[in-house]
Amino acid sequence: MPNPFHLAIPVQNLELCRNFYLTVLGCTEGRSSDHWVDFNFFGHQLVLHQKQGFVKPEIVSNPVDGHDVPVPHFGVVLDWNDWEKLAERLANAQIQFEIEPYIRFKGLAGEQGTFFFYDPEGNALEFKAFKNQEQLFSR
């Protein structure tokens, strides 16, 4: 497995986001203070920094495979079974998908399952999976 990435993002309501990443996504909490908390985000380090008055930049979209993909976004590539389980868990938690789970690039190199949704602060997340992980960077 490659080295984990580290991503730090600003949030206004730290407790609301902490609860979301703990209970909805099932992340485990690492170190924290009154103004930040880090999570094991599927093997990677995600840090939420509370910043009152932060105004998020406007999210734009880019057309990909017939869908308007929100940019910026972040997420992880999961094993296929884990991707399906997470999609089901999110649907059961009544998370509103920006892009519902579906198969992108069907029948082409890089075929993948993907879905998008927003966290409580409006950060766009994407989770994807490949039936064949070797196609992650296929052209």
pLDDT of residue 131: 85
> Do 40 and 78 belong to one domain?
no
> Do 91 and 126 belong to one domain?
yes
Long-range contact set of residues 86-92: C-beta below 8 Å, sequence gap at least 24: 86/25, 86/127, 87/113, 87/115, 87/127, 89/24, 89/26, 90/24, 90/115, 90/117
Q: Is residue 57 part of a domain?
A: no
Q: Measured on CA atoms in the order 84, 89, 92, 95, is the torsion positive or negative?
A: negative
pLDDT of residue 102: 97
pLDDT of residue 108: 87
**Is there a cis peptide before residue 72, judged by omega within 30 degrees of 0?**
yes
pTM comes to: 0.92
pLDDT of residue 33: 96
Structural domain total, the chain: 2
Q: What is the pLDDT along the chain (139 residues), one digit of tens a residue?
A: 789 999 999 999 999 999 999 999 999 999 999 999 999 999 999 999 999 888 887 889 999 989 999 999 999 999 999 999 999 999 999 999 999 999 999 888 889 999 999 999 999 999 999 988 888 888 7
Check which CATH number belongs to the domain holding 96 and give it: 3.10.180.10
Q: Give the number of C-alpha atoms closer than 13 A to the C-alpha of residue 40, restricted to the C-beta side.
A: 6
**Owning domain of residue 46:** 6-50
